[in-house]
Every structure is written in structure tokens, then in C-alpha cells.
Copies of this chain bind each other. A is one copy, B any other.
């Protein structure tokens, strides 16, 4: 504790438990343009004085704070909110003090004793005169007049001059803040584009945009595929790595160790004679072709997302030019990736702890900046959890300093705390455990954790029912209803979701081996020809779902999610409610892809803003409309028809009062 002479002991207000805050302010919270930041805190002092509490906030480009009065919420909790209008960093903090004049005013309203009131008016005059010294111009004059008035008015209970609203307004404008308590931290908000929160992803392998199995797709062919993707309603097209692919120790089809001459290799084995992370695989095209693809996507309302996989094939130029960026074995050779006894001899991981780490990190940042210069604004980052946290914290901050619009999706399939940490460090969105959450209790538990804990402030899940690495067991055995259901769940539980296609819409369901999650004849190792016009494709179903997402803002956010009880373990029910309450969606899903299931949903009427009048549930998938009333309502879903209701709640049901001749 400081000695008396070294501090100002008269700051009487305590500020505690400020929300939102991540790890004591170590990490920013996240918002997108158009959202609010609701700030609350416990603010209180000893005794009874009138407390004034202000929220102070500013965009990083502003030097001065903007201030908003916080309002008491009861039990010493105070709150207010501010709107996010610019990309980049915002800061917010609090200041509070016991206000002499308003404490005086509060007591004055309760005074009854005439002598007392006389003395109190003199004291009040002093508070007002002091404020006059802080004011200027007309305000100064007015305050001086009020001070004089208080000195001279008749001492009466509730004297109107003392309690004048004009005086109160003036006094609020010129407070004495010398003994204010400033909250010691400036907390940070990352303000990001709307797409950071609401996005619809489609992944495909550009080399598979072919009409013949032996041919290799190109960006030019991809361009022709884009309208198909746009018609399904996606707004992000994610391409696996587009760089030259290594030849040495190249993997063959189905991950075989022996590649044939015709084998195309894994796009994640990055780097060859033609270059590394800044080069383009020759068979896909040129940089000009790539930029044409970007333009075409933009015309269709889509962004292209690139894959950032920080690892090298054996032929990568870095290996020759910077052997110091890799770990050496005792015989001087470079250490390939391994997890003993497993070996991944076609890949050299970077050594992030090399003595030359600064040069390595700078080069990897340059890779990202290079592609941003080419027009890329979204990146999907491969295995970020195998690179140091400090590396990502530094790289993401460096990129966002100049480019706050850039979106990074973390492919962080790892332990929960590591996944969360990566999002705290700045990843915009993250893969997550959705592929392995299939039962009602798994889904309820997981999504309650994501949306009701502190994670909601910084973690944005992007839900993928499949990826090139994950053919989920549920999809292998559930047939068409499973594909419909998992897509509908991803698209309604998550404001952001994605699929790996055309494998998804064509319901590719055969694993390489029983019990595994790898696709047979995976595109990771070979070109695949997909018949996207197949009659049984889910493309129209997907298009309809994505249209519903576009038209219903409740589905464009994650936070206001509420699970509702159904008396059948195969039926999942949840509500999503738009931030402004204007749009309410109710989803009922049959998790059993084999049988019809029915049950009674138990609605929370208060949550949904309903009373005892009937209301209409409009299934936007089928167009069917149901009249419901009260909390308990019956649902029945046949998975062979539709495994899910996506209801829009329409409160108003017509009554006799709507009938023309009723009155």
C-alpha cells in the first residue's frame, strides 16, 4: 500500500466486475459493424452520495474519448451501450465520482426544517458558483445567476430554484471530476466486417473442376463452376492450397506411400520447382487467371478464401534457401513431420523456435500480405494449433493493423482450451466439434457452452458437417435424411457454416475403411469428377436453406439461441431470436434419420413474446403453416419427407375482429 503522501485517498468510488472482459482485459472482445457493445459494471461508494458513472469509448483512430452516462440497473450494477460503426479497434473504460452538487440536491429534496433549508441553500450556492468557474460563455453567466438566486431566495422546502431542471442540466455539464475514479484498464473490441459473424462457406478442389477424370481442373474451369455455387446461396468459396505441389515422397491415391507418374499429390504438400507459398500451381493457371476468378466471384457476391498451410513439401524453395528454418536431425538431414511411431515423410514442418525465428515469422507474414495484395480477404488457416500462440497473436495483429477487414478461419481441431485461445488471439472464426455432436444432449450441451459462457464474446464457431478430412459417421449411415438434417442444423445453429462439395450435395458417403472418417478416393490425393447435375442432388434444398438464412436475421447471429424441451430424445428444438427481437425462428429437428418421430414441444412463451392467443408457425422449408397456442404443441417429422421444421414465428392470427362486418 502506498504511503499517504503518494496517493490521492479521496477517490471514493469502486468499480468492479466490468463486463464484457476477456482474461482481465488481456484479449479483445469481438463485434461486427452495426452491433452494440453492452457494458456493465458494479459501481458504488461508501455512504450515500449521488454517484455519476460514465462509459468512455473511442475508435483507435480517435484521440479523445466519447462519454455516455451509465444508468443504474439495481443492486449497484450500472450499464449502457455503444454502437460499432468502423472497422478496427475500439477501446472502452469507465469513470465515476460522487457528485457534490447532486448529493446536495438529493438531500435538499428531503429537507423539512426551515433553518436547515436556509443554510443548505447557501451551501448549494457554493456548489453552483464553483461550477460557474469551470464553465464559459452563456453557461457561465447562467450558473452565476443561479448561484446568486440560491443565495437570496426564500428558504422553503423543495425550493424550485434549487431543484430547477435547467440548473441540473447545467451542473451535469460542468462537474468537478478531480476526485473521479478511473477504471485502470482500457478494454478492447475488435470491430470486424459483418461477414465475420454471418457467412456461408463452400469448399471445393479447383483441380476437380473437370469434365474427364484424367484431366486437371483450372481456374478457368472454376470460373464456370462459380454460378452453380452462387445459385446455392454461398458467399465464401474456399479453395484448398493453390500452390505448386511437391514431387519428392509425393503421396498417391488414398494416401498410398507410392505415387504413380499420374498422381497429382496433396495440395497441402506445398512447394516445388515452380515456387512455394506465393506461387500458383501451373496446372491451375496464372496469377492473372486467379485474379479473374476473384473478380468473377465478386460479381456473384462471393469472396474467395485461400488456405494458409504453413508447412513445406521437400522440394519447397525455402528448404534450399533457408535450411535454418527447419529442425535438423543428428545426421544433418531435415526433420520431417512425425508423431512417433508415425512418420509423415512428405512434409517438413517449420521450426518456429529456430534462432532465425524473426526472419521466418516475417516471411510467413509476407505470404499473407502477398495474397491480400492480390485481392484475397479471407483465409482458412490449416492446423494453427501446431504453431506457437505468440506467432499467431503477432501475425494477426500485424495484418489487422492495416487490414482490419481480413477474416481468418482457424482449422483448430484440438483440445478445448487451445481452440478458445486461438480465437482470443485474433482468429475471426473457428472450426469446432460440430462434426462429432449428433445427439440431442451433445448438441444442447455444446451449443449452450458456446453461446452462454464468456466464449460468446470472442469465439465464432463455423459449423462444417463434412470436410475433406471428415466424413462423419452419422453421414455414412444416415442416408439422404442425414445429409439434409446435418446441413439444416449447421445452417440454423450457426450463423456461419460451410460444406465441402460437391461431395456434400451429392451425398458421398463411403469411407476409405470401415470405422474411419477418411473419404474413399479422397480428393486430397486425386482428381474427382463430380456429376453436379445428378437428379438427387441436394443443391435445391441447400439453396432454399441459404435463402431462409438471408431473409431471417435471427439466423445471422449465434448469441440468442435457446433450447426448448421436447418429450422425445430424437427431437431437438431451439429458438433463435434476432438482436432487436424482430425476427424469431423456431427449429425442430428429427435427429433419427430412420424413423418418424413425434412429441410435444414445450415453448417458453415469455421468451418468445407470446401470450395466450394462438399464433402461426410458418415452415419456411415446406411452406406449411400450423396454428399453435399455449406452451405445449405437437410436432411430427418423417425424415423421408423432411427431417426438420424451420419455423418462422408469426404472432398474429386473424380473429373475428379482422372480419369486415364484425363491428
Q: A residues bordering B, Cβ < 8 Å?
A: 1-2, 4-5, 7, 9-12, 14, 16-17, 23-24, 42, 44-48, 75-76, 107-108, 110-113, 116, 119-120, 122-123, 126, 179, 329-331, 338-341, 343, 352-353, 357-358, 361-362, 385-391, 393-394, 397-398, 401, 415-418, 421
Contacts and interface: CB of A to CB of B under 8 A. Distances in A.
8 contacts: A44-B421, A46-B389, A47-B386, A107-B340, A112-B340, A113-B341, A123-B329, A179-B353
A10 B341 contact: no
Contacts of A16: 23, 417, 421
Nearest to A118: B330
B394 A14 contact: no
B12 A394 contact: no
A416 B74 CA distance: 12
Contacts of A330: 119-120, 122-123, 126
Contacts of A123: 329-330
Given A14-B421, A122-B330, A330-B123, A47 B385 contact: yes
Contacts of A340: 107-108, 110-112, 116
A588 B563 CA distance: 39
Secondary structure at the A interface, as helix, strand, loop or mixed, is: mixed
A9 B417 contact: no
Contacts of A9: 352, 357-358, 361, 388, 390-391, 394
A481 to B, nearest CB: 35
Could you say how many copies of this chain the assembly holds? 2
B46 A398 contact: no
Contact of A397 (B1, B17, B353, B390): B1
Contacts of A17: 23
A110 to B, nearest CB: 4
Contacts of A352: 9-10
Nearest to A112: B341
Contacts of A122: 330-331
Nearest to A416: B75
A17 to B, nearest CB: 8
A175 to B, nearest CB: 15
A42 B415 CA distance: 12
A89 to B, nearest CB: 11
Nearest to A4: B358
A332 to B, nearest CB: 10
A108 B2 CA distance: 54
B12 A361 contact: no
A390 to B, nearest CB: 5
B5 A417 contact: no
A353 to B, nearest CB: 5
Given A4-B358, A16-B421, A112-B341, 20 more contacts: A4-B361, A4-B362, A5-B358, A7-B390, A9-B358, A10-B353, A11-B390, A12-B389, A16-B23, A16-B417, A44-B417, A45-B389, A76-B418, A107-B338, A111-B341, A116-B340, A119-B330, A122-B331, A123-B329, A123-B330
Contacts of A110: 340-341
Contacts of A12: 353, 388-390
